[in-house]
Amino acid sequence: MPKFYARRRLSILAALTGVVASAALFNSPSASAALPTPVSGSTARSYLSQLTVATENRTGYSRDKFPTWITISGTCNTREWILKRDGENVVTNSACTATSGSWYSPYDGATWTSPSDVDIDHLVPLAEAWDSGASKWTTAQRQAFANDVTRPQLLAVTDNVNQAKGDQDPATWIPSRSAYVCTYVRAWVQVKYYYNLSVDSAEKTALTKDLAGC
């Protein structure tokens, strides 16, 4: 069992229960991508210094090993829940599918009015998590990670930008909108620390550089 379950007292049941409870509060979704606020720059730097540095290994990875978009509130799955959280004036049908609204993508500063133009980004990509330690988790643990709305891990962004990012870490990809870089790297480190995931040397170098300005 990964150490984060003992160290941070993460319970899958408790996490999913918390998701359901939190979802009920989103009567008026907030604007401009309501990512849970990441830790401060100083805390992120402290967390980064404690992360294990290791070579990544993608052997055996499949996205199917991370069950995504589970039902978390009524008929709403994780994607639909994030679309409601991160959008403005979001209208949904009886199946909780967003039919209209407005979504601001903090990665590139674009605003979209069609949900088909918006992807839900796993800030720490699933393949990156696999490389960094999630290969040792159970399927239930990977499902909890893939649907985590409590940590700053899921965010509505421009679909093409998300696809361009792919599975890259901050050594090779950061948001083009410079005003969001600090938020992004703080969130990245927080998620990796919480889940006891490692970093590779190039990733740590890039994070150290970007966090210096936070």
pLDDT reading at 13 higher than 50 = no
Q: Total structural domains in the chain?
A: 1
Domain that includes residue 180, residue range: 3-211
Question: Angle between the 201-211 and 41-50 helix axes, to the nearest 10 degrees?
Answer: 160
Is-contact 198 53, C-beta < 8 A?
A: yes
Question: Could you read off the pLDDT of 120-172 as tens digits, one per residue?
Answer: 999 999 999 999 999 999 999 999 999 999 999 999 999 999 999 999 999 99
> Between 114 and 22, whose confidence is greater?
114
Structure confidence at residue 4 (pLDDT) = 52
Which residues is 123 bridged to in the sheet? none
Q: Please provide residue 123's backbone torsions phi and psi, each rounded to the nearest 5 degrees.
A: -55, -50
CA atoms within 13 A on the CB side of 200: 16
Is-contact 65 130, C-beta < 8 A?
A: yes
- Of 159, 156, 184, 158, give the one whose Cα is nearest residue 170: 184
Which residues is 73 bridged to in the sheet? 76
Q: pLDDT band for 33, please (50, 70, 90 cuts).
A: low
Q: How far is CA 206 from the centre of its chain?
A: 19
- As a whole number of angstroms, the distance between CA 130 and CA 145 comes to 11
Task: Retrieve residue 92's tokens.
Answer: 């949904």
User: Which residue stretches of the chain are H helix?
Assistant: 3-7, 12-23, 41-50, 78-86, 126-131, 139-146, 159-165, 181-194, 201-211
Question: Could you read off the pLDDT of 115-127 as tens digits, one per residue?
Answer: 999 999 999 999 9
- Of 27, 25, 23, 2, give the one whose Cα is nearest residue 12: 2
pLDDT reading at 84 higher than 70 = yes
Structure confidence at residue 185 (pLDDT) = 99
Is-contact 53 199, C-beta < 8 A?
A: yes
